[in-house]
Amino acid sequence: MSALRGDLRVCDEQLVQVSEEADECRLRALVSETPLSEREYRQAQRHADRLQQHRDEIAARIARLEADQDALLDRFSAL
């Protein structure tokens, strides 16, 4: 579980940077109004969306493992 928490921290840091990059691309696309800048924005946003999904999956795995751990501890303490 500690490895997953480490992965989550790394993913959070990367997500901040990738999201900022996508926002910058969005602003460039709005200002320049060119197909190239719009494509760069869409690519950056897709990358940010995939990273967010990956981060959510890691957080869900951690939550499931914690719930399983709590259930096992409850069963162990009931003995």
Residues sharing a CB contact under 8 Å with residue 44, sequence separation 6 or more, in sequence order: 18, 21, 22, 25, 26
34: amino acid identity, one letter: T
Domain count, the chain: 1
Q: Among candidates 76, 71, 61, which has minimal Cα distance to 1? A: 61
Structural domain range at position 20 = 2-78
CA–CA gap between residue 6 and residue 51 (Å, rounded): 15
15 with 48: CB under 8 angstroms? yes
- Per-residue confidence (pLDDT) for residue 1, from 0 to 100: 87
Give the pLDDT confidence of 30-69 residue by residue, as tens digits.
999 999 999 999 999 999 999 999 999 999 999 999 999 9
7 with 62: CB under 8 angstroms? no
